[in-house]
Amino acid sequence: MASRSARPSESFGLDRLTTPIGIALLVTDTEGALRALDWEDYEHRMRELLRLHYGAVDLREQAAPAAMKAALSDYFAGDLAQLSSIAWRIAGTSFQQKVWTALAQIPVGTTLSYGTLAAKIDMPRAIRAVGHANGSNPISVVLPCHRLIGANGSLVKYGGGLERKRWLLRHEGVEV
């Protein structure tokens, strides 16, 4: 007999997109919203984040919406404004969602320190918690966690690797 508290598994589509910095994994829901974007060489981490956020997840090979793939391709080709056209939906704690929503508001071509982002969400002492939420962001690039840097301007931690972070920031016009 199944437990009454057991959640049914979420079913998402999984697609791939070739980019200048590797194969991007695109996870979408039945309505075409982006639920995760990560890199093929970090698929295990992506699946773990999905499990943590949604419980049991069933990923099936399925094409992501053409408009989403076009927007991402355009972004990687230099049309940096295209990220804002991508519909996304995420599960997480209210704090995580607050941090992730704030990430989406960091303008292209700019960076913030973890402390500055903590202050922007009116939690100036939550620097480490902001860092942890940033590291749990399932939608890389679109929710631009790569735009967070250390207080001294150094590149610190990026789930897809520091070389990708460096590339993304340079692509957006940030000197690193």
Active site residues per annotation: 145
Residue 173 CB-density burial (10 A; 0-12 exposed, 13-18 middle, 19+ buried): exposed
**147 by DSSP, 3-state: which?**
helix
Strand order in the sheet with 10-19: 34-39, 22-28, 10-19, 57-61
DSSP per-residue codes, 8-73: PPEEEEEEEEEETTEEEEEEE-TTS-EEEEEEGGGHHHHHHHHHHHHSSEEEEE-PPPHHHHHHHH
Which two structure tokens, joined as six digits, stand for 108? 């292209």
Q: Give the Cα separation of 54 and 18 in Å (integer).
A: 26
